[in-house]
Amino acid sequence: MAPSVHYHCPCLSNSTTPPPPHLPSSSYSFHPLHTLFFCEECDAVRCNRCVSVEVSTYYCPNCLFEVPSASVRAEKNRFYLFVHKMPCNVLTRRRCARNCFMCPNCRNTLSVVPSDPPESGDGRLAVPISTVGEPPFFLYCNHCRWDSAEVGITFEKPTGLAAQLQKFEDSAPDSLEFERLKDHFEPFIRASSLSSSTTSHAVAHPSSAAHSHHLHSNSITAAASAALARDIPGVGKYNPLARSTSSRGIGVSGRDRSVNKDEMAEYRSRVEIAKASVVGTGGGDADVEFMRHLENVSEVASLDQRWENSWVTSLQTSDLKPLRIPLHSKRSKRCPACTHILIKPEQKAQSVRYKIKLVAANYLPAITVALPHAQKALTEAAKRTLGKSTSAVEDDKTPATGMVAGKTYPFHLALTNPLYDPIQVRLSPQRLNISTAPSKDGPPEKARRPPFVISLPTSTFPIAAFAEAWEYDDDEDMFGVEEGDDFGIRGGAREKDGRSTRSKTVGVLEKRANVTIVGGEVVIGKEAQGNVKFNTLVSYTYRSDDPAPSESNDGDGPSIPQGNKPPEVKTFAFYTVIDLGPIIPREDSKSVPDV
């Protein structure tokens, strides 16, 4: 594993310090920089775990057709939000309603193929005249060679497959049952969300007849019904008089809702489950009989193959039906605190551009870490095997690149400034008081001692501004200056143990373009185990373009006397966890080079 640097996202937590690096929770609150967002409004880092997400477009991953949200909601068997309110939310998902199907066997995309043309008699295949080929058509998997003719599904024409398959799907027991469930629950959901969103209105007009009459007559109900129609498709078509009038018309208006909730009729399933098992859906004797005569394991559909079904289906592989492809979505993301948009994709499904994209990489300095001794070993290995295949190199690189307990290693941190202004950075590693090897049964005073000690420059150091032009003359001086340039500030190098610091390892080693490389050093204890992994607080100051919010609120009174004051300076601090890799325990260290 290469050494890594991850960034902390507080995820709206109140505590300012991140969890210690050796705890498992650490990996949940630290993320790679490129996955993080930055909210300018809150001046804070946000991650995928804390942002609020909303779907902006649906598209089919196969035909790449953008499915308008309205039609996603309207599609009958894609009754997602409705289902969401019930415990069985895996019942249906949004799926492509065009001609895209998945192989039930291997999940590859199926293609429509024609039957073989009739033999022309001379033993050769006749040249097909028609572009589409001979009917009947069937779905064929290019990967596992499954075809839909095996399960008796063929098509007269190669277009409009979805419509041709619809009748199969509609008559399936699960969709019939689902229809029934929908009919059963719809009035209740409709009633409860209507009455909760427009409570005052509901009280005024206790009967649902009055409700539906007023549905579009005032703005509150119009909004509510619009929201409802969005959440529960098909509700517009529903006639509330059919079921609930009789129960709702009577009773005191204030108690109306609670009364209704209790009045939900008992649901009776279409198929009784005890009977269903007889026909081979859902365990029981039929399945036992099938398993008893099993000759080949592949006759049984694997759990993975049956997983997508909401209904208990036949165990037999020969009963698998082509699956519709679930839709994918493009999502916009919002800050959880201030709800400002952080990510807003372009509408077009396959565009990779964003209308709004506030990623942390554009605000925080990027930090990469390297172990010079490991790199040196790698480069030498590469030079040795130059001309040979590089894949051979990878095998024998581990011994030289590892860190052995009881030794001292330098490491380099390269900080890259993404801002157009120079910044001043200060690194403060968090003191580690607990052993990273908690399982070790050593004497308590020994376990208390940190397994390694980190030295980093404690003074602030500058990183030059990012300028596009740097990208061009980067090529020449990228590798020329490896060592020896001492124009950095070396003061403030923390002399930890006296013996540990050779003069040039700790401090600013190199500055070029918008990158500054600082050296650090890790002294690994003799008994150390686990990874060299430590939290570091990185704080940087930058010139802000807009004045501090307090001044702008006060008006220009206090700011006038200062005249040509220096530009406003702001500080931002964030935590990172730096993982230099595993420590090779002492006892193993001698045996490793022999391997």
Residue 529 to residue 453: CA distance in whole angstroms: 13
Q: Is 53 in the site for other proteins (CB under 8 A)?
A: no
Helix (H, G, I), strand (E, B) or coil at 288: helix
Residue 58 gets which letter from DSSP? E
In the complex with other proteins, which residue's Cβ is closer, 377 or 405? 377
* Smallest distance, other proteins to C-beta of residue 40, A: 16
**Region near other proteins per CB under 8 A, out of 61-69, 162-170, 249-257, 446-454:** 61-69
Residue 567 to residue 547: CA distance in whole angstroms: 9
Question: What is 488-547 written as a DSSP string?
Answer: S--TT---SSSSS--TTTSEEEEEETTEEEEEEEEEE-TT--SEEEEEEEEEEEEE-SSP
Distances in Å between the Cα of 440 and the Cα atoms of 109, 272, 435, 522, 586 are 52, 58, 9, 21, 15
Q: Is 131 in the site for other proteins (CB under 8 A)?
A: yes
Q: Helix 241-249 vs helix 173-197: angle between axes, to the nearest 10 degrees? A: 40
Rule CB under 8 A: choose which of 159, 375, 398, 571 binds other proteins: 375
Rule CB under 8 A: choose which of 15, 217, 239, 391 binds other proteins: 391
Q: Which of 49, 47, 52 is nearest to 7 (CA)?
A: 47
CB under 8 Å to 560, separation ≥6 — which residues?
A: none
In the complex with other proteins, which residue's Cβ is closer, 96 or 202? 96
Window 348 to 367, contacts with other proteins (CB under 8 A): 349-352, 354, 357, 359, 361
In the complex with other proteins, which residue's Cβ is closer, 213 or 388? 388
Residue 567 to residue 461: CA distance in whole angstroms: 19
Two tokens, residue 269: 């399933």
Cα 286 from chain centroid?
A: 42
Q: Is 481 in the site for other proteins (CB under 8 A)?
A: no
Q: Say which residue the tokens 């300018």 belong to.
A: 40
Q: Is 111 in the site for other proteins (CB under 8 A)?
A: yes
In the complex with other proteins, which residue's Cβ is closer, 135 or 406? 135
Distances in Å between the Cα of 332 and the Cα atoms of 48, 329, 356 are 11, 10, 9
Classify strands 408-416 and 366-370 as parallel, antiparallel or unpaired. antiparallel
**Region near other proteins per CB under 8 A, out of 17-25, 152-160, 210-218, 473-481:** 473-481
Rule CB under 8 A: choose which of 7, 59, 138, 409 binds other proteins: 59
Burial of 205 per CB tally in 10 Å (0-12, 13-18, 19+)? middle
Q: Is 343 in the site for other proteins (CB under 8 A)?
A: yes
- 520 phi and psi, to 5 degrees? -135, 175
* Smallest distance, other proteins to C-beta of residue 236, A: 33
Tell me if 148 sits within 8 A of 142, measured CB to CB: no
Window 244 to 303, contacts with other proteins (CB under 8 A): none
* Smallest distance, other proteins to C-beta of residue 481, A: 12
In the complex with other proteins, which residue's Cβ is closer, 269 or 375? 375
Q: Is 336 in the site for other proteins (CB under 8 A)?
A: no
In the complex with other proteins, which residue's Cβ is closer, 215 or 361? 361
* Smallest distance, other proteins to C-beta of residue 384, A: 11
In the complex with other proteins, which residue's Cβ is closer, 33 or 454? 33
Classify strands 44-46 and 4-8 as parallel, antiparallel or unpaired. unpaired
Binding mask 169-208 for other proteins (x = CB under 8 A): ----------------------------------------
* Smallest distance, other proteins to C-beta of residue 131, A: 7
Size of the site for other proteins (CB under 8 A): 49
Two tokens, residue 285: 């004797």
In the complex with other proteins, which residue's Cβ is closer, 71 or 351? 351
Window 499 to 538, contacts with other proteins (CB under 8 A): 517
In the complex with other proteins, which residue's Cβ is closer, 48 or 552? 48
Binding mask 79-108 for other proteins (x = CB under 8 A): ---------------------------xxx
Q: Say which residue the tokens 């539906």 belong to.
A: 212
Q: Is 127 in the site for other proteins (CB under 8 A)?
A: yes
* Smallest distance, other proteins to C-beta of residue 386, A: 6
182 sits in which H/E element = helix 173-197
In the complex with other proteins, which residue's Cβ is closer, 46 or 190? 46
Window 410 to 469, contacts with other proteins (CB under 8 A): 412, 414
Q: Which of 454, 464, 415, 413 is nearest to 432 (CA)?
A: 454
Q: Is 34 in the site for other proteins (CB under 8 A)?
A: yes
Question: What is 354-394 written as a DSSP string?
Answer: EEEE-BGGGTSPEEEEE-HHHHHHHHHHHHHTTTS-GGGGG
- 249 phi and psi, to 5 degrees? -60, -35
Window 296 to 325, contacts with other proteins (CB under 8 A): none
Tell me if 217 sits within 8 A of 177, measured CB to CB: no
In the complex with other proteins, which residue's Cβ is closer, 107 or 214? 107
Rule CB under 8 A: choose which of 63, 259, 464, 465 binds other proteins: 63
Tell me if 208 sits within 8 A of 191, measured CB to CB: yes
Q: Which residues bind other proteins (CB under 8 A)?
A: 34-35, 59, 61-64, 106-109, 111, 127-128, 131, 141-144, 328, 343, 349-352, 354, 357, 359, 361, 368, 370, 375, 378-379, 382-383, 386-387, 389-391, 412, 414, 471, 474-475, 478-479, 517
